[in-house]
Amino acid sequence: MRHKQAFAASAMLLGLAVLGGTAGAQEAFDYQFSTPGTLTETRRSSDSPSPYWWLRSGGRLLVGGGTGTTITGDLPENDPLRAKYAAAAPKTTDGGRHPQNSFRLFTKSKWKNSIQSIEVELLAANLSEPANRHAFNGVSLVSRYDESDANYYVATLRMDGKAVIKKKSGDNFYTLVEKTFLPGTYSRDGNYNLLTINKPFRLRLETGETAAGQTALKFWVDRERDGNWQLAADVVDNGRVGGAALVAAGANGVLSDFMDVRWDNYQVAGVATVTPPAPVKEPETPSTPKEPTAPAEQAPEPTPSGNPLAGKKLYVNPNSDGRRQAEAWRSSRPADAAIMEKLGNVAIGSWFGDWNSNVESDARNLVLAASREGAVPLLVAYNIPQRDCGSYSAGGANNPEGYRSWINNLARGIGNGEAVVILEPDALAGMTCLSEADQAARMELLKYAVGALKANPKTYVYVDAGNANWVPAGEMASRLKRADIARADGFAVNVSNFYETARNVSYGEAVSKETGGKHFIIDTSRNGAGSPGGEWCNPGGRALGQTSTTNTGNRLVDAFYWVKPPGQSDGTCNGGPSAGVWWPEYALELAKRAGW
């Protein structure tokens, strides 16, 4: 694809990153447990020394090495916490030896509607006394916690293999839904723990509102940390069980019972609504709930236009090449600096590939930086094996296994955040350089990537479809179908190329007609003067095109976007540096010729 970019994330304190601190629909929170320290439990949240967390019970949270851990093993006899718990809860904590048996960690920030997730690794099950072997023990996510009355929602993956969502109201817990999720047969005295030990997995809880204003909850599990989120349980609380639904904003958090646990990568994203399950008969009593029918996974409700990007603010990277160059020229070349500002004030794509030493961290930094601005970033996944058929941007993952691992890491970096992803420029259009076996393998990888990324319904995936002068629309539509375009949000055209917008619209409409009306994105970064006879590698006389926008005037075109950062070389051709290297003089010429 004539492109390679070393992504430079904006500076931020990832270890303790908090975006927003009060209830709302858009605030985000990210905690990576990267700052070593110990948080000791306190009676009230106001007494907690952490600006982010309140440990209500469990003794201590130990943070270090990029993870947070409960107390592990037995407390020493001379530890004051042991005496405290021996007196207050001797049975629950094995005579005070295991305060971690009742671990309660809450955020100080509050949300009404949110999507939160956590990575969990169980280190031990503390079942030294047979009386403590309890099917209800497990790990949980909590939402809408009210410190004043200790009411909250809790979603638990239990040791007996069941996924349960409960409401605590007053002094009682009310089961809203309970479903068998994990394989295996639970036995109190034999097979008493169906959860995996020393194998991390991920939990996600969505708390929101239906269109009718009822509280809806969805509980998900990613057992292999590969982006394959499985819906474990979901329910709408209409107030018929356990009294009125909890509607006020409250803390989120994590709980664990009778376990030593390691925590990592805790994230919260705001969300406006949660699509409810299909209508079902409600539970008649708290003790004998009837399970609702589990719905298929659903994305957020589409906008009336069918464009998932409609009304979104597109992220402008404050550290883009254009902005840095304008600043560098401010004193020595003020006129050129003013022209270069054209590049610095437009949303552009951030490319991810084999040059990223930690793609998960880099993606997370970008998504969080955009979230701070209330904006959506554009990521370009560009790491398919045998990339660019050995041309200027040759490279990519070494093998299919490496690619699947890489795409999983990219998906983990995006997490629950909102992002647009252009998937593998040239992978479909340029696949004829491969053998039939390798073409089939590439299709499977693209299908896998679509699935991994779309596990987060707020990741909007557009599979690259070449350009208007490369592959006929009918053939491209056939390739897109094999790459699972049905599950993606659409496709992208003209990435890193120069063809006029009108020509790309016509091509995209033809492809859309053959793919069930799929929408598309057009790369307009350098097409302001069209394509000079099909030349694609640093051609002269070109100009910047339409700036990035979702206001396209065409119901099928979701965005005009600067997918290729203008000014980055296509390769060592026409006097240019290596692919992806910033070439300021070429960028300046593009900006000078722009018609805006």
Q: Name 406's Cβ contacts closer than 8 Å, sequence gap at least 6.
A: 359, 383, 397
Whole-Å CA distances, 195 to 89, 228, 519, 547, 570: 25, 18, 42, 51, 50
Identity of the amino acid at 34: S
Q: Do 364 and 30 contact (CB within 8 A), yes or no?
A: yes
DSSP-derived 3-state class of residue 2: coil
Catalytic residue among 321, 336, 362, 426: 426
> What is the distance between the alpha carbons of residues 78 and 93, in angstroms, rounded to a whole number?
16
Residue 47: active-site member: no
Residue 570: active-site member: yes
Dihedral pair phi/psi, residue 264, rounded to 5°: -155, 155
Mutual angle of helices 473-482 and 501-514, in 10-degree steps: 60
Tokens for 277, please give them: 């399950």
Q: Do 570 and 579 contact (CB within 8 A), yes or no?
A: yes
Catalytic residue among 30, 222, 388, 484: 388
SS3 for 18-62 is EECCCCCCCCEEEECCCCCEEEECCCCHHHCCCCCEEEEECCEEE
Number of Cβ within 10 Å of residue 304's Cβ equals 7
DSSP-derived 3-state class of residue 327: helix
Q: Do 11 and 368 contact (CB within 8 A), yes or no?
A: no
| Start-to-end CA span in the chain (Å) | 28
Q: Name 12's Cβ contacts closer than 8 Å, sequence gap at least 6.
A: 365, 368, 369, 372
Residue 94: active-site member: no
Q: What is the DSSP secondary-structure string of 397-416? A: -SSHHHHHHHHHHHHHHHTT
Active site residues: 388, 426, 570
